[in-house]
Amino acid sequence: MTTSAPLPSFVLVPGYWLGAWAWDAVADDLRARGHDVLALTLPGLDPDDPQRFSATLVQQADAVSAAVKAASPPVVLVAHSGAGAVASLVLDRDPGSVARVVYVDSGPSSDGSAFDASLPAEVTELPLPLPAYDDLEASVDGLTDEQLATFRERAVPEPAGVVRAPVELIDEARHEVPTTIIASSIPSEVMMQMARDGHPMMAAVAELRDLQLVDLPTGHWPMWSRPADLAAAIADASVDA
């Protein structure tokens, strides 16, 4: 009598300005497929936390590491957008802690990189640029007016310490972790050319040893514009986890 392998558990980490709520539709879909799912609100992104302005990138990585450790193996870590830096720290600490990492319109960070190291020291937070989403240099394709309004209403300013902090990485074994990049606002072909050209946003992708690319054309927030398709892409990428 054979015993089927356990389904992977998912730890979902949202990008800048977002909490666990951003994953609601995707998380529900994955749970309906039989997976255990934990969506996180990172330190500094809880609007009711009076200490949130002092949150650090290390504290965010601590929270994700704890969630990964608590999840039932095999564990798949899913990171959207700016959460790629947090995922990179988690993998650097313990490359064997996850069976696969899935970057959603994102990728791994390079050692020493920062989202915006030039952010002035007196700045305590980085709010969602409003009303001009063009300032984000990120596509809102596929989002309805209602979704954009919810984004504006629920967005929490990112702690400045997280924005300017360099990502310190030392363990080359992080490059060995099976990786999927789900490309939505930037086609995977363009992402890979950026990696080959050494573009700071994608340079670390060129170091990955086991990389799977999935194109899901839409804007930068596919968890809202194409949630069912994103859930299916995450689940399919994790079949062998």
Spatial neighbors of 100 by CB under 8 A, at least 6 apart, are: 8, 74, 76, 77, 177, 178, 179, 180, 237, 238, 241
Q: Which residues, at least 6 apart from 132, have a Cβ–Cβ distance to it below 8 Å? A: none
Residues 178-237 have pLDDT tens digits of 999 999 999 999 999 999 999 988 999 999 999 999 999 999 999 999 999 999 999 999
Q: Which residue(s) pair with 128 in the sheet?
A: none
| Domain annotation covers residue 210 | yes
- Within-domain flag for 25: yes
Phi, psi of 125, deg, nearest 5: -155, 155
Question: Splitting the chain (241 residues) into consecutive groups of 10 residues, what average pLDDT does each group show?
Answer: 80 97 98 98 97 96 98 98 97 97 97 93 88 65 93 95 96 97 96 94 95 97 98 96 81
User: Peptide bond preceding 131: is omega within 30 degrees of 0, i.e. cis?
Assistant: yes
The boundaries of the domain holding residue 108 are 9-237
> Which CATH number covers residue 148?
3.40.50.1820
Q: DSSP secondary-structure letter at 53?
A: G
Query: Residue length, the chain?
Result: 241
For residue 241, the model assigns a pLDDT of 81
Indicate whether 4 belongs to any domain. no
- The domain tally of the chain equals 1
Predicted local confidence at residue 46, as pLDDT? 97
Q: Is residue 2 part of a domain?
A: no
| Among the listed residues 114, 14, 127, 132, the one whose alpha carbon sits nearest the alpha carbon of residue 56 | 114
pLDDT at residue 1, rounded to an integer = 45
- Say which residues have a Cβ less than 8 Å from residue 28's Cβ, sequence separation at least 6: none
Specify if 3 maps to a domain.
no
The answer to whether the CB of 45 falls within 8 A of the CB of 151 is: no
- Residue 137, domain member (yes or no): yes
Q: What is the dihedral of CA 49, 111, 74, 237, to 10 degrees?
A: 100
